[in-house]
Amino acid sequence: MRTLVRRAVICGLATAAVLGPMTASGAAAEAAAPEPRLYAPSALVLTVAQGESAATAVPLRAVTLTCTPTAGGTHPAPKKACEELRSVQGRFDRLGGEETRPCIKIYDPVVVTAQGTWEGRRVNFEKMYANSCVMQTEGSSVFSF
């Protein structure tokens, strides 16, 4: 019993020693704290890989895309990609290109992936195209990087 009391006292003193300096600057920390978010997060990692499956392919290119509160990330055209995703409510399977052009019928598969969150929802998307020309034609600006 005596050991438990001693440990409780020691823990209390250690906590006071650690938190004591922090409470003095508590008002400053509260003033500098950011406002709570009023939006659901949208942050994605997009990849393009050579192969039929993301599980076996090594990514050739990868970018980040954030759409909320503002478009950003390492994607070369984040505003356009975010607008396109908003137009389909973040449903990657509904994305489609507007461009139509003939492609060579060579099978050289390319797989694209999107992982992260879209407006608070978890995203784990993968799609395979017959070759990079088909990806650029049938795909969207989201995967144009």
CA distance 25 to 38: 27
The sign of the torsion formed by the CA atoms of 73, 76, 77, 82 equals negative
Range of the domain at 100: 43-143
CA distance 11 to 129: 60
CA distance 15 to 70: 41
**Res 40: pLDDT:** 75
Q: Which residue has the tokens 């461009």?
A: 99
Residues 54 and 23 grouped into a single domain? no
**Res 139: pLDDT:** 78
Residues 53 and 82 grouped into a single domain? yes
Residue 8: pLDDT band with limits 50, 70, 90 = very low
Residues 10 and 64 grouped into a single domain? no
Residues 103 and 77 grouped into a single domain? yes
38 inside domain: no
Contact 100, 61 (CB under 8 A): no
Residues 83 and 119 grouped into a single domain? yes
CA distance 44 to 55: 18
pLDDT digits (tens, 9 = 90+) for 51-67: 999 999 989 999 999 99
CA distance 91 to 142: 12
Q: Please give the tally of structural domains in the chain.
A: 2
